[in-house]
Amino acid sequence: WLGYRQIENENLLNEYVNTLSYIHLEGDSETLKVTKKELIKGLMAMLGKNVPFKNLENSTNSLIVANSKKLSSSILEKVNDDLKELNKDGFIIKTIRIGKNKHTVITSNDDVGVLYGVFNFLRLMQQNKSITNLSIVDSPKLDVRMLNHWDNMDRTVERGFAGFSLWNWHTLPDYIDQRYIDYARANASIGINGTALTNVNANALVLTPHYLEKVKALADVFRPYGIKVYLTARFSAPIEIGGLDTADPLNADVQEWWNNKTKEIYDLIPDFGGFLVKANSEGQPGPQNYNRNHVDGANMMAKSLAPYKGIVMWRAFVYSEHDSTDRAKQAYSEFVPYDGQFLDNVIVQVKNGAIDFQPREPFHPMFGAMPKTPLMMEFQITKEYLGFATHLAFLPKLYEEVLSADTYRKGKGSTVAKVIDGSLHNKKLTGMAGVSNIGNDINWTGHPFGQADWYGFGRLAWNPHLSAESIADEWIRSTFSNDEKFIGPVKKMMLESREMVVNYMNPLGLHHIFDTGHHYGPGPWVGNLSRPEWNPVYYHKADENGIGFDRTETGSNALEQYAPELAAMWGNLDTCPEIDLLWFHHLAWDYTLKDGNTLWDGMALKYQKGVDDVQNMVTTWEAMKPYIDSQRHNQVSMLLKIQLKEAKWWRNACMLYFQTFSKMDFPEGMEKPD
Ligand code: GCU
């Protein structure tokens, strides 16, 4: 999306050239240096000529780029009211007149905000918007907007489908790959301001001096772009690399070890962001190994980080084999009782749903249920459960659905977005994390449309109230084309793509029926793994009588973890939306759906619809050939054909398997498996 294609429309080109006769850029901080570079790069490419830099005297039609502290009083007075509205890193883009002269001002109270303003301005041009009369005041709604890389030290990436890790630990710290810089540019352009470099299934090695030197090199590259580096902290690090015989968070030596380690990190990286921790989850060590709790563990690290203003992101993704009634209930049960006990620099990081990044999940019941604890959203950008980097599923649609869901915790309108932007309960620390889909693949994300998920995540971390539709529009224009004949069909296809995946994989509230381990392709039949909640049969519970997970009062009663309005809505078959039906109910195969079909027929027709819609996507994309380069067209085309083949595979596998229970015929309208 930073391709900066040359502006083709002549009228528009004239408008841009006339509005941008000169650039006046104040300041020479590292951030403003990269801001200047980006401006030159973007304008040169889009206008086909250099815009000269000039002092302001006697000029007109200048682009004025400066921190507000550097603005002259005549300019300042035109933007002063807007400046007061800005949060940290917010920016203003405004057309002003001084006497006869007209100028465009990009300013902020912080240098990084100026950089964000410039990226935003360039994006307006990429989208062929008019720039003659601008008045934009925009601020991030969340403090921490970060990527979580699940990158291992050997450069493999957990759930990574776009090659190996970008971080070349072997050649760092001396060799700075241009891709580190381009990665920072791409992130800054959408407002991402943090990156956790390493896997949540952490390796303590990254905290040793040898690796910290390498981490510092990356932090130095990212700093001008406003991006802080974070690391995953393995709870048992004091034992593994510190020579202690315990990692008990209440042990004084352990606290001291973390204090010293933290100081060592800040000596190298003064703006280090903090630690991301997966503890007592899926075999990872944590405070419970010492009969302590999440508060003890998180607060211990928080104490070490507090003097430097660092934060702890303590993950709520926990579930245990010892409580196998309903995995969906465990995080809430384990965390909600501790509301109010975490230190101020702890933020609890909660996945969007209570199971695990499924194609569709109701929002996690913790959102809204911990009024005294900062909670940050964790979305997955890499598509572990949505066809890896092979299938197209535009994820901002999923993110939007979760963010706009109503928790009802403070009455109607208490959306998840308001929980995480802090406005619902007046939280001081806010954030959103996305599990990265980036690797060293030539186009970063494997599937060319995977970039849209990265882009969309960043835009929503900046403002969780944006629509998926507007994000798709921006991304298509910047990435491919401003031709309406291309934008219309491609946008439609993107916006529908996630629902297609839901339909051909997990319709009507089904979930986690993936082949186990790798999670690619169907595997609803698996039922002999060591832990019950790792078996797909645990989730669909199909038998002769029907299918679905009863989470109402007659079942696990996970519904009680939601506000009463929602518990009532989901609990009642008349009001439960059919997209969530089998998430909350176990129903007979001949249960009648709203359209009059039996559950069995309705399920079959959903699977079929998923396949048909992918077929339509293939056809739509074929017709897009004239509008973009053949290389990207062909690449997407090949991937879509795989998606079609695999949508059929999903339909056939699931329907044939479930038929062994339902013993019913496939309905008219479903293509029969061969
Ligand atoms: C999923 C995923 C794991 C990952 C885990 C987590 O279970 O399959 O690979 O480690 O989530 O988020 O910690």
443 & 537 share domain: no
Q: Looking at residue 528, what is its pLDDT?
A: 77
397 & 444 share domain: yes
> Which residue type occupies 326?
D
Nearest to 512 by CA among 532, 530, 537, 544: 537
Query: Cα of 609 to ligand 1 centre, how many Å?
Result: 30
- Closest-lying ligand 1 atom to the alpha carbon of residue 200: 13
The active-site residue, picked from 220, 282, 483, 671, is 282
* Protein residue whose Cα sits closest to atom 1 of ligand 1: 356
Q: Looking at the predicted structure, is the pLDDT value of residue 56 above 90? A: no
Query: Cα of 384 to ligand 1 centre, how many Å?
Result: 9
Q: Looking at residue 141, what is its pLDDT?
A: 98
Q: Looking at residue 495, what is its pLDDT?
A: 99
Q: Looking at residue 526, what is its pLDDT?
A: 86
- Closest-lying ligand 1 atom to the alpha carbon of residue 378: 12
115 & 180 share domain: no
Bridge partners (DSSP) listed for residue 376: 349
- Is 339 annotated as catalytic? no
350 & 271 share domain: yes
Cβ density class 549-571: b for 16+ within 10 Å, e for less: bbbbeebbbbbebbbeebbebbb
Confidence of residue 128 (pLDDT cuts 50, 70, 90): very high
Question: What tokens does 591 get?
Answer: 């249960």
The per-residue DSSP string of 228-250 comes to EEEEE--TTHHHHTT--S---TT
CATH number at residue 85: 3.30.379.10
261 & 342 share domain: yes
CA separation, residue 348 to residues 141, 365, 461, 519, 660 (Å): 18, 14, 16, 26, 43
* Protein residue whose Cα sits closest to atom 7 of ligand 1: 356
The active-site residue, picked from 82, 111, 334, 384, is 384
For residues 231 and 234, give the distance between their C-alpha atoms in angstroms, rounded to a whole number: 9
Q: Looking at the predicted structure, is the pLDDT value of residue 321 above 80? A: no
- The answer to whether position 453 is within a domain reads yes
> Which residue type occupies 284?
Q
For residues 119 and 132, give the distance between their C-alpha atoms in angstroms, rounded to a whole number: 17
- Closest-lying ligand 1 atom to the alpha carbon of residue 150: 10
- The answer to whether position 181 is within a domain reads yes
Each residue of 445-490: pLDDT tens digit? Answer: 999 999 999 999 999 999 999 999 999 999 999 999 999 999 999 9
The SS3 of residue 135 is strand
518 & 622 share domain: yes
Confidence of residue 324 (pLDDT cuts 50, 70, 90): low
Query: Cα of 330 to ligand 1 centre, how many Å?
Result: 16
422 & 463 share domain: yes
Q: Looking at residue 59, what is its pLDDT?
A: 81
Domain boundary among 450, 467, 484: 467
- Closest-lying ligand 1 atom to the alpha carbon of residue 519: 8
- Is 384 annotated as catalytic? yes
Query: Cα of 357 to ligand 1 centre, how many Å?
Result: 9
Each residue of 184-236: pLDDT tens digit? Answer: 999 999 999 999 999 999 999 999 999 999 999 999 999 999 999 999 999 99
For residues 202 and 520, give the distance between their C-alpha atoms in angstroms, rounded to a whole number: 24
- The answer to whether position 155 is within a domain reads no
Site to probe by mutation for ligand 1, drawn from 198, 319, 350, 356 as the one with most ligand atoms within 8 Å of Cβ, is: 356
Provide the 8-state DSSP code for 401: H
Pairing mode, strands 587-588 and 546-547 = antiparallel
Q: Looking at residue 455, what is its pLDDT?
A: 99
- The answer to whether position 476 is within a domain reads no
For residues 631 and 505, give the distance between their C-alpha atoms in angstroms, rounded to a whole number: 29
Nearest to 395 by CA among 405, 384, 406: 384
Centre a 10 Å sphere on the Cβ of residue 3 and count the other Cβ atoms it contains.
Answer: 10
For residues 425 and 416, give the distance between their C-alpha atoms in angstroms, rounded to a whole number: 11
* Protein residue whose Cα sits closest to atom 11 of ligand 1: 356
Does residue 287 have a cis peptide bond before it, meaning omega lies within 30 degrees of 0? no
417, 464 Cβ separation under 8 angstroms: yes
Nearest to 655 by CA among 504, 500, 498: 504
The total number of structural domains in the chain stands at 3
Site to probe by mutation for ligand 1, drawn from 282, 529, 535 as the one with most ligand atoms within 8 Å of Cβ, is: 282
Q: Looking at residue 342, what is its pLDDT?
A: 98
ipTM value greater than 0.95: yes
pTM greater than 0.95 (yes/no): yes
Average pLDDT, rounded, for the chain: 97
- Closest-lying ligand 1 atom to the alpha carbon of residue 159: 9
202, 152 Cβ separation under 8 angstroms: no
- The answer to whether position 164 is within a domain reads no
Query: Cα of 255 to ligand 1 centre, how many Å?
Result: 28
> Which residue type occupies 85?
E
Nearest to 607 by CA among 520, 515, 502, 514: 502
Q: Looking at residue 319, what is its pLDDT?
A: 87
Q: Looking at the predicted structure, is the pLDDT value of residue 45 above 70? A: yes
- The answer to whether position 577 is within a domain reads no
Q: Looking at the predicted structure, is the pLDDT value of residue 387 above 90? A: yes
539 & 463 share domain: no
Reduce the secondary structure of 525-587 to three states and give it as a string.
CCCCCCCHHHCHHHHHCCECCEECCCCCCCCCCHHHHCCHHHHHHHHCCCCCCHHHHHHHCCE
197, 183 Cβ separation under 8 angstroms: no
For residues 33 and 26, give the distance between their C-alpha atoms in angstroms, rounded to a whole number: 10
Nearest to 352 by CA among 337, 373, 336, 331: 331
* Protein residue whose Cα sits closest to atom 10 of ligand 1: 201
Residue whose tokens read 């051909």: 504
462 & 414 share domain: yes
- The answer to whether position 384 is within a domain reads yes
When pLDDT is averaged across residues 485-514 and rounded to a whole number, the result is 98
When pLDDT is averaged across residues 351-366 and rounded to a whole number, the result is 98
Strand ranges inside 278-374, DSSP E: 311-315, 346-351
- The answer to whether position 557 is within a domain reads no
374 & 506 share domain: no
Each residue of 282-292: pLDDT tens digit? Answer: 999 999 999 99
- Is 356 annotated as catalytic? yes
Query: Cα of 534 to ligand 1 centre, how many Å?
Result: 12
Each residue of 569-601: pLDDT tens digit? Answer: 999 999 999 999 999 999 999 999 999 999 999
Distance between terminal CA atoms of the chain? 42
Residues with CB under 6 A from ligand 1: 158-159, 200-201, 278, 282, 317, 356, 384
CATH number at residue 624: 3.90.1330.10
The active-site residue, picked from 111, 356, 361, 601, is 356
Pairing mode, strands 228-232 and 274-277 = parallel
Query: Cα of 315 to ligand 1 centre, how many Å?
Result: 11
Site to probe by mutation for ligand 1, drawn from 317, 327, 539 as the one with most ligand atoms within 8 Å of Cβ, is: 317
When pLDDT is averaged across residues 263-291 and rounded to a whole number, the result is 97
Provide, rounded to the nearest whole percent, the portion of the chain with pLDDT above 90: 96
Cα 561 from chain centroid (whole Å): 25
What range defines the domain where residue 638 resides? 502-549+586-662
Each residue of 404-447: pLDDT tens digit? Answer: 999 999 999 999 999 999 999 999 999 999 999 999 999 999 99
35 & 178 share domain: no
Question: What tokens does 151 get?
Answer: 């990158």
Cβ density class 239-267: b for 16+ within 10 Å, e for less: bbbbebeebbbebeebbebbbebbeebbe
Q: Looking at residue 159, what is its pLDDT?
A: 98
304 & 447 share domain: yes
CATH number at residue 290: 3.20.20.80
For residues 548 and 409, give the distance between their C-alpha atoms in angstroms, rounded to a whole number: 27
Provide, rounded to the nearest whole percent, the portion of the chain with pLDDT above 70: 100
Q: Looking at the predicted structure, is the pLDDT value of residue 4 above 90? A: yes
For residues 406 and 413, give the distance between their C-alpha atoms in angstroms, rounded to a whole number: 6
Query: Cα of 516 to ligand 1 centre, how many Å?
Result: 12
